[in-house]
Structure 1
């Protein structure tokens, strides 16, 4: 099934380039290309130690995580008014940030942001950056073509037992959201076998695979669902759930039946590649409305 847009996306309103603060992974490039397809240019701030050097093919500059003042000056000099933060970034220690004078003045606020979960930290960072005079956008706002839609995306559909597991998984994510815990769970035949914590989705899948291999969990191959969805209170401008071919590969290695996500609540850098990998692995990929959890 083809999931790419059938027509070119409309022009993205606004003036000047869209600024992209780029962490690791494939998403910064995917967002940059989607923005360009809508008639806007981009200017990338590449985070040292995280961003892929291949992103140097776009107009760019490199900066350290703690160099907010330096980054602000560079972005504004290029006419950037709207800013997107996208890509993987491991939680740094305060002492490793490499703070410039702007960040040093904000140190008490920064230290407070580290006392809590990822959504608390990332939302706080967004507000700090917005206070420098930028309109903060989510990747889904400037690159809506990267959002996964509702429905079965490949050749394989979930079974009734899988739909029951999906409902339970979505309900659990909604319940845990108040504690700022994870965006993903694994449910097998009505049994919650894994909840994503600080390790991330891929490591959670590896943990479940290890439990099966050691006989701690005795579920056969082709059972269970990886369910991903935003937390109810999540700031969708940052850390929206994402899927990629590696997630499909890990889910297949773990012996799951498929992957479910909240429709419009997850992004993917290349949907066609994702679906092709899922079909090849014998996994379903399905987008469901969040109301299915009720």
Structure 2
């Protein structure tokens, strides 16, 4: 992908957006979507996380811990809304180049750093909102990056896979209140693996050893499916479920017959490459309509 794609004609009078770029390919995809829509935006890159393409495009680069610096940039730009995109985690040494900024903001950092990475992100968004900056999610500004409903490739789930999908949906709905994860590998009415803090890829690695015996090299059980959905009541600005080509490859290695995701709530990174990989391997990818889903946090 071109790091600096030619933007469409800008929408006259449209409000300025600020894309806060973290790690991964997502910020580049969001930038391309905004370019296609002709929406004016600036890029604020997070040092130590933003990829090279976004660092080149950024009009400012800040340290993750430099809260005062981030707020100062936003005040100068005066955006209508801030869009966080890409991963951040607990700061690594490459992300902490401004020790003075960390010291200057130590009280705020202490307040937002207690708990997991989700809480870190939620607290950071709350801090922005407290200073008058609206925050929007990728799903709100780049809906073309989300999974549509229905079968997305050449292959469709069979009867056994559909039973697994129903089990996975019910399981994830029940687990929403416990903030466990967004994904599960299911065989029929049995959960083979449930996503924890390690993420989807590592869960799939565990599932491979459990579902393919002996030692992860036997035949997988028919109807094995990866199901991935947003938690009920989840703040999608913080952690929008996502799959990509690597997810498809890892799901196949784990013995999955396909991948089922929540339509309208799941990012498909490089959709064309993702579906092509699934078609080539022989997996289905399907977007589920879960708008009527209810649960303890709905």
- Shorter chain as denominator, the TM-score bin is 0.7 to 0.9
CA distance in 2, matches of 1:180, 1:190: 22
Report the counterpart of residue 34 of structure 1 in structure 2: 33
Specify the alignment match of 2:184 in structure 1: 185
Structure 1 residue 32 displacement after superposition = 0.8
Residue matched to 2:137: 138
Q: Tell me the equivalent position of 2:3.
A: none
Number of aligned positions between the proteins:
281
Deviation at 1:21, TM superposition (A): 1.4
Cα deviation per residue 1:143-166 (whole Å; 9 max; x = unaligned)? 111111110000000011111111
Contact in 2 for aligned 1:278/1:285 (Cα 8 Å): yes
CA deviation map 1:87-137 (0-9, x unaligned): 1223448xx8655466324244224xx33x554443222111222221100
* Map of 2:264 onto structure 1: 264
Q: 1:13 to 1:206 in 2, by over 3 A?
A: farther
Q: Does the residue aligned with 2:82 lie in a helix, a strand or coil?
A: strand
- Cross-structure match for 2:5: none
Distance (whole Å) between structure 2 residues aligned to residue 149 and residue 60 of structure 1: 33
Shift of 1:214: 5.2
5 Å matches for 1:132-211? 132-211=131-210
Unaligned runs of 5+ in 2: 1-7
Q: Secondary structure at the match of 2:50?
A: coil
* Contact 1:23-1:86 at 8 Å conserved across structures: yes
* 2:106 paired with 1:104: yes
TM-score scaled by structure 2? 0.85
Structure 1 residues 291 and 159, CA, compared in 2 at 3 Å: closer, same or farther? farther
SS at match of 2:193: strand
Which deviates more from structure 2 when the two are superposed, residues 46-55 or residues 208-217? 208-217
* Structure possessing the higher relative contact order (Cα contacts under 8 Å, 6 or more residues apart): 1
Structure 1 CA distance for aligned equivalents of residues 292 and 159 of structure 2: 13
Structure 2 distance, partners of 1:265, 1:121, is 22
Task: Give RMSD over aligned pairs.
Answer: 2.7
Moved more, 203-212 or 281-290: 203-212
Provide the rounded CA distance (Å) in 1 between the counterparts of 2:65 and 2:190: 42
The yes-or-no answer on 1:53 pairing with 2:52 is yes
Moved more, 53-62 or 214-223: 214-223
Q: Distance in 1 between matches of 2:271 and 2:254?
A: 21
Q: 1:293 to 1:143 in 2, by over 3 A?
A: closer
Taking structure 1 as the reference length, what is the TM-score of the superposition?
Answer: 0.86
Q: Give the match's secondary structure for 2:210.
A: helix
Give the Cα separation in 1 of the matches to 2:202 and 2:12. Answer: 36
Q: Which residue of 1 aligns with 2:122?
A: 123
Structure 1 CA distance for aligned equivalents of residues 82 and 176 of structure 2: 26
Instruction: Please give the alpha-carbon distance, in whole angstroms, between the structure 1 residues aligned to 2:61 and 2:249.
Output: 32
Whole-angstrom CA distance in 2 between matches of 1:235 and 1:11 = 29
Contact 1:171 1:293 in 2 (8 A): no
Which secondary structure does the structure 1 equivalent of 2:45 belong to?
strand
* 1:165–1:88 Cα change, 3 Å: same
Mark the CA change 1:260 to 1:182 in structure 2 (over 3 Å): closer, same or farther. Answer: same
CA contact (8 A) 1:70 1:100 kept: no
Q: In structure 2, what is the equivalent of residue 224 of structure 1? A: 224
Gaps of 5+ in 1: 1-7
Contact persistence 1:149–1:287 (CA under 8 A): yes
Please state how far the C-alpha of 1:69 moved relative to its aligned partner.
Answer: 1.3
| CA contact 2:18–2:42 (8 Å) conserved in 1 | yes
> Is 1:62 equivalent to 2:61 in the alignment?
yes
